[in-house]
Amino acid sequence: MYTQSFSVPDNAGQKNVAAVPSTENPELMAAFDARIDADGRIEPQDWMPDAYRKTLVRQISQHAHSEIVGMLPEGNWISRAPSLKRKAILIAKVQDEGGHGLYLYSAAETLGTSRDQMLEGLHSGKAKYSSIFNYPTLNWADVGVIGWLVDGAAIMNQIPLCRCSYGPYSRAMVRVCKEESFHQRQGYEALLVMMQGTEAQRAMVQDAVNRLWWKCLAMFGPPDADSPNSAQGMRWGIKRISNDELRQKFVDATVPQAKVLGVTLPDPDLKWNEARQHYDYGQIDWQEFWNTVEGNGPCNKERLATRVKAHNDGQWVRDAALAYTRKQQQRAQKEAA
Ligand code: BYC
């Protein structure tokens, strides 16, 4: 449904933002700007302005946190999956999300920020993670809808990141997108099966779509006009397509999928606009979005408490691994002496 071939022009969005005036070394800055303008890649050993480094650490670590916290709403359903097949698929998917978090933390570490610093940001509530994971998963159809719509929105946003100017992030995203594509398909297939089932199953699917549709549209971030980071992110080739353009692409791709599935998207204003060659859609509740991003959504506290507990419960594993490494080093030193 979404593929790696999703086409992104080389310099989409970069042209209309001037380079930031900088107090950094002008020669290094000029070389950096020239590489960005030529759509080159920046690697960890390359010089980069502090603000570029900070933006990347912010975005990549938040992305990593989203993958890790994103394991929780679906993880809740592993023990209640309706069949062995669905359980095996769900375990594999949730495990993939954990893997995505690890690649992304590793990519962010190449920028000089430690995993401990990033986790401290998450656990103290300072760092953000995707708003979508602060809503409950009330029935089995939610798991299918997360695959279809949440992973679908994630792929739409993440395929352009495979062309991000920072090498380690862009390379991590290639594998992440391939796996997200499987996640999206498994969710859609699970829903297709439910829609061919009983009236009660069809009602569950519709209920899940009704609850999650608007939250998925908000995943793309605030409207372009209210997005403080977009212009600079585009200029630096981190973001390639704006929040609103990606949201529109997602709506356009999803409407025909909803028709095939036989569900209604809960938006009376959703209709094809012949002049724009896009679907028009209604107003997103941005106040509700910001309230959730600021920590006051229905599950924010529960999600963070679960993550902090898992981290604390795993302390003995980290202690044991460090003790083992120390023992190995001491043995090597003794042998060398
Ligand atoms: N939720 O200026 P803007 C997944 C924040 S996980 C929370 O537009 P930017 C999956 C934003 O951070 C998918 N916060 O920012 C896993 C910024 O605050 P700060 C996660 C949001 O960075 C498991 C402020 O609002 N994907 O796929 O230019 C199971 C202003 O926004 C959100 C990624 O993380 C939000 N929805 O653009 C299933 C992709 N939106 O940082 C699936 C990588 C915005 O200034 N990230 N904010 O304090 C990105 O592409 C960009 O960071 C965003 C935001 C498009 C999200």
Ligand 1 centre and the CA of 154: distance in Å?
Answer: 10
The burial class, CB within 10 Å (0-12 / 13-18 / 19+), for 270 is middle
**Cβ(58) to ligand 1 under 6 A?**
yes
Contacts 24+ apart (CB under 8 A), 5-13: 6/159, 6/160, 8/159, 8/160, 8/163, 8/240, 8/241, 10/39, 10/163, 11/37, 11/39, 11/237, 12/160, 12/240, 12/241, 13/234, 13/239, 13/240, 13/241, 13/242
Q: Candidates 216, 227, 239: which one to mutate for ligand 1, based on the most atoms within 8 Å of Cβ?
A: 227
Give the per-residue pLDDT at 337: 86
Tally Cβ neighbours within 10 Å of residue 26.
9
What 8-state DSSP symbol labels residue 146?
A: I
Give the per-residue pLDDT at 24: 76
**Cβ(14) to ligand 1 under 6 A?**
no
Task: Give 257-277 pLDDT, tens digit per residue.
Answer: 999 999 999 999 999 999 999
Ligand 1 centre and the CA of 201: distance in Å?
Answer: 32
List the pLDDT tens digit at each of the 337 positions of the chain. 444 334 334 333 333 444 555 567 899 999 999 999 999 999 999 999 999 999 999 999 999 999 999 999 999 999 999 999 999 999 999 999 999 999 999 999 999 999 999 999 999 999 999 999 999 999 999 999 999 999 999 999 999 999 999 999 999 999 999 999 999 999 999 999 999 999 999 999 999 999 999 999 999 999 999 999 999 999 999 999 999 999 999 999 999 999 999 999 999 999 999 999 999 999 999 999 999 999 999 999 999 999 999 999 999 999 999 999 999 999 999 999 8
Ligand 1 centre and the CA of 130: distance in Å?
Answer: 6
Ligand 1 centre and the CA of 243: distance in Å?
Answer: 10
Q: Which residue matches tokens 């946190």?
A: 65
Ligand 1, closest atom to CA 62?
34
Ligand 1, closest atom to CA 154?
27
Q: Candidates 8, 17, 66: which one to mutate for ligand 1, based on the most atoms within 8 Å of Cβ?
A: 66
Task: Give 151-179 pLDDT, tens digit per residue.
Answer: 999 999 999 999 999 999 999 999 999 99
Q: How far apart are CA 96 and CA 78, in angstroms?
A: 14
**Cβ(59) to ligand 1 under 6 A?**
yes
